[in-house]
Chains A and B, each alone.
Chain A
Amino acid sequence: MTIEVNGKTLETDEEGYLTNLNEWTPEVGTKMASDEGCELTNNHWEVINFLREYYDEYQIAPAVRVLTKAIGKKLGADKGNSKYLYELFPYGPAKQACKYAGLPKPTGCV
């Protein structure tokens, strides 16, 4: 599968995750989201940016609890919970947000 962004064709896997992490730009995230009928707001970007920062440091997406805590600090305590993250990313913050962030899909019993 491929995705077309700004005239460039990027390769993805069967589920739409970017094959080459280095090809990611914010426009890629926006395009992936809009293809799935999701318009990214600043709050979505807070999550996506945190995922990317964490991934840079640890080579894995953060655990849900690490993510909710970080988002709670950034956006306010009322948003530091998985219910809020599911409002932002209804298909699951770990999987859907990772996809838009250009990160590989988490595997295992999650």
Chain B
Amino acid sequence: MAKFQTPEIKEYPVIPRIREGAMAGLKPLTAKPDHQRALGFPGELMDNWKEVAIDKMADLLGKYRSLPVFLDACVKCGACTDKCHYFIGTADPKNMPVARQDLLRKVYRRHFTFAGKYFPKLVGAVDLTKEVLDDWYSYYHQCAECRRCSVYCPYGIDTAEITMAGREILDSVGIGARYSNEIIGKVYIIGNNLGLPAPALRNTLEGLEEDVKEDTGVDVRYPVDEKGAEVLVIAPSADFFAEPHVDGLIGYGKVFHEAGISWTLSSYASEAANFGIFIGSYENMKRVAMRIREAALDLGVKRIVVGECGHAWRVAYSFWNTLIGPFDFLDPRYPAPQHICELTYDLIQRGALTLDKSANDHRVVTFHDSCNVARATRMGNKPGGQLTIPRDVIKAVCNNFYDMDAGTIGEATVCCGGGGGLLTDDLMELRVKGALPRMQALRHVVEEHGVTHMAAICAICKTQFAKVLPYYNFSMDQIISVHHLVGDAVVLGAKQ
């Protein structure tokens, strides 16, 4: 299957020599006309795509104040050039963040700046041609929108927003990535990315109740569509379907059980993920999120808690209030929305959970900060809580915890390699190569401290690592959900 070379992990991280055009051919499968139309986009590339694209660019420049600032502000200082995991893994110079920005910037200059209109050659301005459009499709789908480069940019230029604009312009002329757009369509019809219908969800959750009963002898519930429950949990649908995700879901249930909080999932809003953000489409982001408000009102819940899903927490924390708020119908004593790690952390602080840390003694754990959580959100009421709270939860349930190198965690965390709508088999080469910096940091703590497991709070990260770890001679089950660790340590029945 693998027709590419997995990068070699060197003793120290190395900035690669550039290899021009190394990833030039790579692009994800395009969405079919039906997928496009379901999201309000043209079905295929239209005849007058050039005018439509420039009009769309003008529309975005007017709508988002950040976009013209980011396109104007770059001074080509080079601080970002070696900060992208895809550049480090592929050595393609167009994967340097500044070069990725320039793909849009050069057309922006041609059409929207004085110098570019009259002296294009002087300022690197070019016309929008089919070749440029193809380059956009290829390289705006080699960006995980992880925003690491923006941390190092002295102007704070956020390449993710440029990528989102690029993708939105592409969608507006009829070219979308199948992975994201087909999935958004499934949310509209069925309620989640998987296309998991309500009867299958119920069957799966009943199976979990049996499993937990068998393992622990305790009737822990995994309820769905229960009106009047206190908490609505919005989990990524991967939590129902995949490993290691499902063990995290089992952990949430044990926490609620022990804390005596009634909770429910919703079959209508059975998805935390919101791929609308990946394609830069505010309208689609809103439409996906609206199901959650509707479900919360319908079920009459008092709190909304978001499960382990990285970009979902970004959408929830940073955008829900204006997308689907106000949340005046929820209990004002709790954050709206609240992250499952915040909930568990609060319960631990209050002594509401009895924890047996030794249950995780066979594990030596590190934590992978997910990009959207680390750089675009917060938890708790202190700055940096999104970095400390998940770690404090892990340390409360595990005796053995070691962080990876400082330059690869926290605000500087490196992407898993599969974020931003790239978690698709047709981009496997990019995903494997883009994982290099994280694999390097992981190898270090494995050798230094005997780390056995890397925990994460993002469904994409978990799937991505389960897939790419074996390419780097780790095993797929070394990636684990934070609430799997919690679930294993919670002593059931201790508080009754």
> Hey, which chain B residues are within 8 Å of A66, CB to CB?
203-204, 207
**Contacting residues of chain A (50-96) with chain B, CB-CB under 8 angstroms:** 57-60, 62-66, 69, 82-83, 86, 91-92, 94-95
List chain B residues, Cβ under 8 A from A110.
194, 238, 241-242, 463
With known contacts A109-B273, A109-B463, A110-B463, A65–B194 Cβ distance under 8 A: no
A69: nearest residue on chain B (CB-CB)?
Answer: B207
Q: Which chain B residues (164-223) contact chain A, with CB distance < 8 Å?
A: 179, 182-183, 186, 192-197, 199-200, 203-204, 207-208, 211
Closest approach, in angstroms, between the C-beta of B423 and any C-beta of chain A? 6
Assess whether B200 is in contact with A108, with CB atoms less than 8 Å apart. Answer: no
Q: Are A65 and B208 in contact (CB under 8 A)?
A: yes
Interface string of B16-38 (1 = CB under 8 A from A): 00000000000001000000000
Answer yes or no: A35 CB below 8 A from chain B CBs.
Answer: no
Contact residues in B for A23 (Cβ distance below 8 Å): none
Residues of B in contact, count (CB < 8 Å): 40
Are A108 and B246 in contact (CB-based, < 8 A)? no
Q: Are A107 and B194 CB-contacts (below 8 A) given A63-B204, A64-B242?
A: yes
Given A15-B426, A108-B183, A110-B238: A60 and B459 within 8 A (CB)?
Answer: no
A76 to B238, CA, bound (A): 27
Partner of A108, one of B207, B273, B426, B467: B273
In the complex, whether B86 has a CB less than 8 A from a CB of chain A is: no
In the complex, which residues 382-436 of chain B have their Cβ closer than 8 Å to any Cβ of chain A? 423, 425-426
- Chain B CB within 8 A of A26 CB: no
B477: A residues at CB distance < 8 A: 83
Tell whether, in the assembled complex, residue B29 and residue A109 are in contact, meaning their CB atoms are under 8 Å apart: no
Given A69-B211, A108-B241, A109-B238, A60:B246 Cβ within 8 A? no
Q: Are A63 and B199 in contact (CB under 8 A)?
A: no
Given contacts A65-B211, A109-B236, A110-B463, contact A94 B242 (CB under 8 A): yes
Chain A residue at minimal CB-CB distance from B425? A15
Contact-residue bracket for chain A: 20 to 34
B243 contacts A60, CB within 8 Å?
Answer: no
Residues of chain A contacted by B313 (CB below 8 angstroms): none
Structural contact, A59 and B211, CB atoms closer than 8 A:
no
How near does chain B come to A57, taking the closest CB pair, in angstroms?
A: 8
**Chain B residues, Cβ within 8 Å of A108:** 183, 186, 192-195, 236-238, 241, 273
Residue B87, interface by CB 8 Å: no
Inter-chain CA distance A68–B183, complex, in Å, is 26
Q: Given the known A-B contacts A64-B246, A65-B211, are A109 and B423 also in contact in the complex, defined by CB atoms under 8 Å?
A: yes
Which 9 residue pairs of A and B lie closest in terms of their CB atoms, listed nearest first? A108-B193, A58-B200, A109-B459, A109-B238, A110-B242, A108-B194, A63-B241, A63-B204, A60-B200
Pull 30 A–B residue pairs with CB atoms less than 8 Å apart, ordered by A.
Answer: A15-B426, A57-B199, A58-B199, A58-B200, A58-B203, A60-B194, A62-B204, A63-B246, A64-B241, A64-B242, A65-B207, A66-B203, A66-B204, A69-B207, A82-B243, A91-B1, A94-B241, A107-B183, A108-B183, A108-B186, A108-B237, A108-B241, A109-B236, A109-B238, A109-B242, A109-B273, A109-B309, A109-B462, A110-B194, A110-B238
